[in-house]
């Protein structure tokens, strides 16, 4: 395994888990994830950072995927600590290994930034949701300010290889709406204490339309 492989296998998962567990980000997670109900699917579940926020009185089943073996180890540890049964698998969002209309809720937090094909991933998330099912999303992405977006475009080529393919310039809410979801309770802000080029956050509840 070369230096690039060692970095991506051993360093990047730890960096992601640390960066995505800052107090401010965890506070945003706490506002989104507890809304999950019924049979729940989480894309990018590696790290297990969301598991503490699921309400076991509302969730009847939990499944998740992640492409990183190391992050999946963290997720399985979190499930064991929570003491619930969880179907956690290695996989990618472009090919979710579950049947059509299998879930009541899908959860997507800080994942669309790094997938290879976000359009395919959103189509897959819509596919596995039952009619009227909800996608809970919380992502960072393209700033609405032209000056900040310009810096994001300059920094992204350096940022991506260091952070496991994470993009700074992907729009968040607009693509969700383009894939057959109706948005409710949206939110957005710059995360305090972070450089603006990395700090634009968007979230919401997206219901699968007919």
Give the per-residue pLDDT at 197. 96
The arithmetic mean of pLDDT across residues 74-92, rounded, is 94
Q: What is the number of domains present in the chain? A: 1
Q: Read off the pLDDT of residues 150-159 as tens digits, 9 standing for 90 and up.
A: 999 999 999 9
pTM here is 0.92
Q: Read off the pLDDT of residues 164-197 as tens digits, 9 standing for 90 and up.
A: 889 999 999 999 999 999 999 999 999 998 999 9
Q: In this structure, are residues 172 and 143 in contact, taking their beta carbons and an 8 Å threshold? A: no
CATH of the domain at 115: 3.40.50.150
Q: Read off the pLDDT of residues 97-139 as tens digits, 9 standing for 90 and up.
A: 999 999 999 999 999 999 999 999 999 999 999 999 999 999 9
CA–CA dist 179, 209 (Å, integer):
9
pLDDT over 70 (residue 3)? no
- The boundaries of the domain holding residue 185 are 3-208
């Amino acid at each position: 395994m070369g230096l690039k492989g060692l970095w991506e296998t051993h360093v990047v998962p730890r960096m992601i888990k640390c960066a995505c567990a800052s107090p401010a980000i965890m506070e945003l997670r706490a506002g989104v994830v507890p809304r999950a109900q019924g049979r729940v699917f989480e894309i990018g579940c590696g790290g297990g950072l969301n598991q503490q926020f699921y309400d076991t009185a509302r969730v009847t089943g939990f499944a998740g995927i992640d492409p990183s073996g190391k992050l999946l180890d963290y997720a399985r540890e979190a499930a064991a600590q929570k003491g619930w049964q969880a179907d956690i698998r290695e996989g990618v969002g472009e090919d979710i290994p579950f049947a059509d209309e299998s879930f009541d809720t899908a959860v997507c937090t800080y994942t669309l930034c790094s997938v290879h094909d976000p359009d395919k991933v959103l189509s897959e998330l819509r596919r596995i949701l039952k009619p009227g099912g909800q996608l809970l999303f919380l992502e960072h992405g393209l700033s609405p300010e032209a000056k900040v977006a310009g810096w994001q475009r300059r920094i992204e080529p350096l940022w991506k290889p260091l952070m496991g393919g994470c993009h700074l310039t992907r729009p968040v809410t607009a693509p969700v709406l383009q894939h057959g979801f109706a948005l409710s309770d949206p939110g957005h802000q710059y995360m305090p204490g972070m450089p603006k080029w990395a700090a634009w956050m968007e979230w919401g509840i997206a219901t699968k339309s007919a």
